[in-house]
Amino acid sequence: MRILKRILILLLLLACAGGIFSWDLIYRENTARQNKRPLKIAEGTNWEGVMQLMIADTLLRSPKSLDRLAKWSGYSERIKPGLYRIVPGMSNKAILRLLASGRQEEVKLVLRSSWSKENLVSYVCREINADSNYLLTLLNDSSRLLQYGWNQHTVLAVFVPNTYNFYWTTDADQFLKRMFKEHKRFWNESRLQKAKTLGLTPTEVSVLASIVEKETNQTDEMATVAGVYLNRLRKGMKLEADPTVKFATGNPDIKRVRGEMLKIESPYNTYLYTGLPPGPICMPSIQAIDAVLKNEKHNYIYFCAREDFSGYHNFTADYNQHLLNARKYWLELNKKGVR
């Protein structure tokens, strides 16, 4: 009888110990409180790869306990790719349920004006799991872009600088398709009608807006600058926009456009060719696009940066006055040693 009682007590103790162990394995907090980095699980990553990521990022207090529960419960075969936030206080059970649910955190992509294709690709592919070489190749492949009505020169007009939410698992093709949809959404009936009134297509508006974007940092002056270029287009004059020359040289950091640069052979060189360039020279901001659509009506056909370097410009309809304005600016550049 005593032996039976001892056996029962031993079994009870073992059951209690097992229960405590199971509770500890499943429900005890198992996160490192200093963690602030998200966990990024790429497509095709197996459980061992996931564990290596979490260990490398010191996300867990006890990696072995999570590994044990994942394999015991079968969760190790159910993990989905994505970006996940492992927050302090989470248990092994909570972590595994999250990784198997596919409820990944969204990434905010902030596309900024003035970017080139290279700027865009570099930023986007750091933030989402898209291959940078493939995306850049895609943006330069007119045969692929043609199915969407674009080519390698015009495609930069697709991207409207704004904030967009994406899943980290978004690839290059999915990213581009989403941007095509956002472009259509941006060009609503009101904007389309304004472009039509100007005699321009949405793409042509974006091309002109990209020049305006590079000409002035002052948003309250953009509509005036846009008005100058529209006046020149109507008169059949060359735009003679310095930013297009910088683009043609491939060196956007040029401080001073000089005579020999104006002769560079390029369809983007508006000192050589009449009309708009074949595509945007950068990603124009929404403000620049709307400045073209709501351009200021005036008779100016010349402008030059002010000699006070305020970022604003002097505008005129008189060529001789323009030469005087330009001379004042050039003299100040010389004083400052700008080459």
User: CATH number of the domain that 80 lies in?
Assistant: 3.30.1490.480
Determine the pLDDT at residue 89: 86
Do 118 and 142 lie in one domain? The reply is yes
108: β partners: 165
Do 224 and 322 lie in one domain? The reply is yes
Do 248 and 181 lie in one domain? The reply is no
Give a yes or no: residue 16 inside a domain.
Answer: no
Give a yes or no: residue 263 inside a domain.
Answer: yes
Give a yes or no: residue 17 inside a domain.
Answer: no
Q: Which residues contact 91 (CB under 8 A, 6 or more apart)?
A: 26, 27, 28, 29, 30
Determine the pLDDT at residue 253: 81
Give a yes or no: residue 65 inside a domain.
Answer: yes
Do 219 and 272 lie in one domain? The reply is yes
Domain count, the chain: 3
Do 215 and 270 lie in one domain? The reply is yes
Helix (H, G, I), strand (E, B) or coil at 107: strand
Is the separation of the CB atoms in 30 and 98 below 8 Å?
no
Boundary of a domain, candidates 82, 101, 120? 101
Give a yes or no: residue 15 inside a domain.
Answer: no
Give a yes or no: residue 289 inside a domain.
Answer: yes
Query: What's the domain range around 112?
Result: 106-186
Boundary of a domain, candidates 186, 219, 242? 186
Beta strands in the chain (DSSP E): 39-41, 82-84, 106-110, 163-167, 302-305, 313-316
Do 93 and 115 lie in one domain? The reply is no
Do 206 and 313 lie in one domain? The reply is yes
Determine the pLDDT at residue 2: 54
Do 215 and 315 lie in one domain? The reply is yes
Do 217 and 258 lie in one domain? The reply is yes
Give a yes or no: residue 281 inside a domain.
Answer: yes
pLDDT by residue for the chain (339 residues), tens only, comes to: 555 444 444 434 334 344 444 445 564 787 876 666 789 999 999 999 999 998 888 888 888 988 998 899 898 899 999 999 988 888 989 999 999 999 999 999 999 998 999 999 999 999 999 999 999 999 999 999 999 999 999 999 999 999 999 999 999 999 999 999 999 999 999 999 999 999 999 999 999 999 999 999 999 999 999 999 999 999 999 999 999 999 999 988 888 888 889 999 999 999 999 999 999 999 999 999 999 999 999 999 999 999 999 999 999 999 999 999 999 999 998 988 887
Do 313 and 254 lie in one domain? The reply is yes
Phi/psi of residue 334, each to 5°?
A: -65, -40
CA distance 81 to 97: 13
Give a yes or no: residue 79 inside a domain.
Answer: yes
Do 116 and 201 lie in one domain? The reply is no
Angle between helices 286-293 and 222-235 (to 10 degrees): 50
Do 74 and 53 lie in one domain? The reply is yes
Boundary of a domain, candidates 165, 186, 207? 186
